[in-house]
Structure 1
Amino acid sequence: MTAKILVVDDIVFNVKLLETKLKQEYYEVFVANNGVEAVKKAKELNPDIILMDVMMPEMDGIEATKIIKNDPNTMHIPIIIVTALNAQEDKVNGLSAGADDFLTKPINDHALITRIKSLLRLKFMMDELRARHVTSNQLGVGEEIIIDESNKIEGAKVILVDDDVAQAKKIKEKLNSAGISVDIVTEEQETLSLAEKNNYGLFIISTQLIDSDGLRLCSHIKNHDKLRGIPILIIVEEADEKTLTKGLEMGVNDYLLYPVESNELLARTTTQIKRKNYQDALRENYIHNLSLSVIDQLTNLYNRRYFDIHIKNLVTNAASTGKSLSLIMLDIDHFKNINDTYGHQAGDVIIQEVARRILLGVRPTDLSARYGGEEFVVILPDTKLEDAIKVSERIRQSVEMYPLTTVDSLEIKCTLSLGVSALNSDDSPENLLKRADQCLYKAKEGGRNRVVAEEAFFT
């Protein structure tokens, strides 16, 4: 997972230490020596993460964070505040200013890398949503996203999973005082059932439950289609680094330490709810603004027009950031025979079902489009060739192994041929598509019902 990280600190030793640690993980590191420089470089570099020290000359880290988070061009960049040990006031002020996390000095190497990876997962998803919004604007169907953060907290709903009665009561009272309603539950099934029925902005889950496993519940939420977009804040013992690390690796968004400090609770809860509101606004905005001019009416996938514009944006972004990008082109084998044998209505149902199975085989951030007729294309941001091959094989098997059923309950067996290409450093959208198309041709020529990747015959 490559990324650009901006380290902000006025002490050379601290900068060099962080720079060494981050470069060992193959991150690209940039440096700013004060808050003023941090604000400037955030705009110029558009980093994926900012590590922001608090105490600096000219402008401290708290003020710099406020400015960056209030700028629509930089507000999406995650900021990790770096504080002195036990500087509780700095932590709360930083989170209130919009920071996404904090680390205390001396910085634990494992905690540093784990927190960065956790925030990067969210950042890359947000980047893809923002990119789709830009594409919609270029097509003339997008609108400006205006989000008044100050009006988004009151009325929010939180589900708290905690069997410590005293602690649960304390948490509920603090959040209620800010206009946030809290439903308290104590076991897993009740949590999932309640969450499916209500529009929650955050899960707060204790990892010290007596009769349930808090992390297992987190895992179930992250694997639940309807619930996985809701952020999770876990409560964990300070010495329980193993539980914390597992939680962050599975996608938990944030954490609080026992005993829960009420101001930090409110600050972290507020940050997560605002982040979800922004994410939801982005998603609803492009869904609302995309019209039939960019959606294929038969499959509800994006159409060729949208794809042609969006791939240019993704290639430009990947080239500027050094991130991977792969493309899959696929075609239904012997589709003319299906139409001739069963009729065009059955053929339309087959196309719809193949589109559905493509969507089931890819991530929400991957873009699937109907390229024309029975041909489809999938763009996979931040994905290397070998991973794209695995995705292609998963899609191929999903069609081959299970017959497709028409409206007349007729089961039709069909297969797919797939070609896979990956972006090179000096590549163009046209060349990326051309190579995938050549691979698709090779798959057809080789007997169909197979995946062919470019390195199989371009090396």
Structure 2
Amino acid sequence: MTGTILIVETAATRRIALRATLGAAFRRVLVASDAAEALAAARAEPPEILLAASDLPDTAASALRLRLTAQAPGTPPPALAVLTPPGDRAARIDALEAGADDAIACGTQGALLLARLRRLLRDREDTAELRLREATRRALGFAEPPAAFERPARAGLLASDRVTATRLADTLAASLGIHVEPLDRRGALALGPEDSLDALVLTDASGCASVAGLVPALRAQGATRTAALLVHAAGAEAEREAAQALDLGAQDALAGPFDAGELALRLQARLAAKRRADRLRDDLREGLAAAVTDPLTGLYNRRYALPQLARLAARAASAGEPLTVMVADLDHFKAVNDAYGHAAGDTVLAETATRLRGALREGDIAARIGGEEFLVVLPATDAELANAVARRLCGRIAHTPVALPGRGDEVRVTVSIGLATLEGDARGQDAGASLADSLLQRADRALYGAKSHGRNRVRAHRSAA
């Protein structure tokens, strides 16, 4: 592991033992006996992980994390793992309820301790990356308000047989406050996309069967690919099993007797983290879509369309396939704005885009690249077929007037279209941006010809050679 860990432990023997265990795993290990020493040690280099005893003399571990975060503004807060006395369930519950990312019993085997800390680092880095992307999105002006409604979480519990799964799922549901679906191995691996789960507990309450090995299989199927996976292992090899599960991709793992109360707390934390991560990913996805979409028409914008044209033109030239570029421009659009206002002009543009989409195939690219100018890229389309598509589009737009909302008026509009085709025998032409520029220039010239010869028509420049 890389990064810095800060160990805050009052007992000198435990500090020494932890430093020896973690020294080879972290780039830097800081140690302190209380909060004051911890703040001083972290001043020069804020830690990625805070590993703090539950019984610090001068502050609670959760409060120490807040102070460390305030001391390093602009740095993501450290992940917090609280060290609790062996077998002290109450201390673990208190730490989790206070907001700790993990509660780890003193004396936990080194392999499981390291696996838990690796998981905390992964979670922290993933969250920091998503938040950075979200900050970029907000800076670009693509921020959206959070969703007002969130559906109830869907959770499941997998055990070796349905009877055990039902019994434990009911016990967990009573602590969790939501329905928990009981599953056996076959049922879990047979879940379809419509059965998608937000969280899944994999338990070996008997200590007789390994469940960690199921983690990769569950990560590979659609229904559980993004679910929070929590593994519970029992028996003599429980700590080894839990460590293996964490390193295979589980979000959390417990070793020891089945404890519905602690499992519920950990599961609630994982569900909350998943909701935050899902929301950030959704916001990012929407932000990326907004960055390449024209907000008025819903078509792609120039920023997206031109690089895509260059890519498709290069591919077509390399494969010896035809490709046609269509540039369409609304006729007398300024007169529409002057006569009816810009709101009416926006309605005309949006309706034109709708009719344009309706005339194209899946795989064609349509974009608004100027005020009333549209670009269409038609892969695997020769001049004859492109001409037919363009004429059909002209007819769609001219045939039906555009209704203007709130006015009771209709306005008839027409469109002129210029075509340029890269013929299928154009293999070996210069690829990329220069070829795309050539196609655009030729389509523009053809458009000018359509405008000059009466508008509401199609003109083609057949060769881009």
Partner of 1:343: 323
SS of corresponding position for 1:21: helix
Partner of 2:246: 248
Asked which structure has the greater CA Rg, the reply is 2
Partner of 2:34: 34
Q: Does 1:100 align with 2:98?
A: no
TM-score by length of structure 1 reads 0.58
Partner of 1:428: none
**What does 1:398-437 align with in structure 2 at a 5 Å threshold?**
none
Quote the offset at 1:131 in angstroms.
Answer: 1.5
Partner of 2:262: 264
Partner of 2:170: 172
Q: Hey, what's the Cα distance between the residues in 1 that align with 2:55 and 2:68? A: 17
Quote the offset at 1:208 in angstroms.
Answer: 6.2
Partner of 1:183: 181
SS of corresponding position for 2:282: helix
SS of corresponding position for 1:292: helix
Letter of the 1:179 counterpart: G
Q: Write the deviation string for residues 123-161 of structure 1: whole angstroms up to 9, x where unpaired.
A: 2222221111121122222358799xxx98x93221111
Q: Write the deviation string for residues 289-316 of structure 1: whole angstroms up to 9, x where unpaired.
A: 445335799999x979xxxxxxxxxxxx
Structure 1: runs of 5+ lacking an equivalent: 305-330, 347-351, 354-404, 415-459
Q: Hey, what's the Cα distance between the residues in 2 that align with 1:262 and 1:70? A: 35
Contact 1:235-1:256 at 8 Å conserved across structures: yes
**What does 1:203-352 align with in structure 2 at a 5 Å threshold?**
203-207=200-204, 214-224=211-221, 227-240=224-237, 241-293=239-291, 335=315, 337-338=317-318, 342-344=322-324
Letter of the 1:257 counterpart: A
Q: Hey, what's the Cα distance between the residues in 2 that align with 1:42 and 1:198? A: 46
Structure 2: runs of 5+ lacking an equivalent: 306-310, 327-362, 365-378, 383-423, 428-465
Q: Does 1:6 align with 2:3?
A: no
Q: Does 1:196 align with 2:193?
A: yes
Contact 1:96-1:271 at 8 Å conserved across structures: no
SS of corresponding position for 2:224: coil
Contact 1:160-1:184 at 8 Å conserved across structures: yes
SS of corresponding position for 2:291: coil
Q: Write the deviation string for residues 355-384 of structure 1: whole angstroms up to 9, x where unpaired.
A: xxxxxxxxxxxxxxxxxxxxxxxxxxxxxx
Partner of 2:371: none
SS of corresponding position for 2:47: coil
Q: Write the deviation string for residues 54-98 of structure 1: whole angstroms up to 9, x where unpaired.
A: 111111325546888999988864322111111111111111222
Letter of the 2:82 counterpart: I
Change (3 A) 1:182 1:341: closer
Letter of the 2:127 counterpart: M
Change (3 A) 1:256 1:108: closer
Q: Hey, what's the Cα distance between the residues in 1 that align with 2:56 and 2:105? A: 16
Contact 1:156-1:179 at 8 Å conserved across structures: no
Partner of 2:23: 23
Quote the offset at 1:260 in angstroms.
Answer: 0.9
SS of corresponding position for 1:277: helix
Q: Does 1:50 align with 2:47?
A: no
Identity fraction in percent = 22
SS of corresponding position for 2:290: coil
Partner of 1:307: none
Contact 2:5-2:47 at 8 Å conserved across structures: yes
Change (3 A) 1:50 1:145: farther
Change (3 A) 1:303 1:131: farther
Letter of the 1:200 counterpart: L
Q: Hey, what's the Cα distance between the residues in 2 that align with 1:43 and 1:144? A: 36
Letter of the 1:245 counterpart: A
Letter of the 2:260 counterpart: S
Change (3 A) 1:178 1:116: closer
Q: Hey, what's the Cα distance between the residues in 2 that align with 1:40 and 1:146? A: 41
Partner of 1:132: 133
Contact 2:5-2:30 at 8 Å conserved across structures: yes
Letter of the 1:237 counterpart: A
Q: Hey, what's the Cα distance between the residues in 1 that align with 2:286 and 2:41? A: 33
Change (3 A) 1:82 1:187: same
Quote the offset at 1:250 in angstroms.
Answer: 0.7
Q: Hey, what's the Cα distance between the residues in 1 that align with 2:200 and 2:85? A: 29
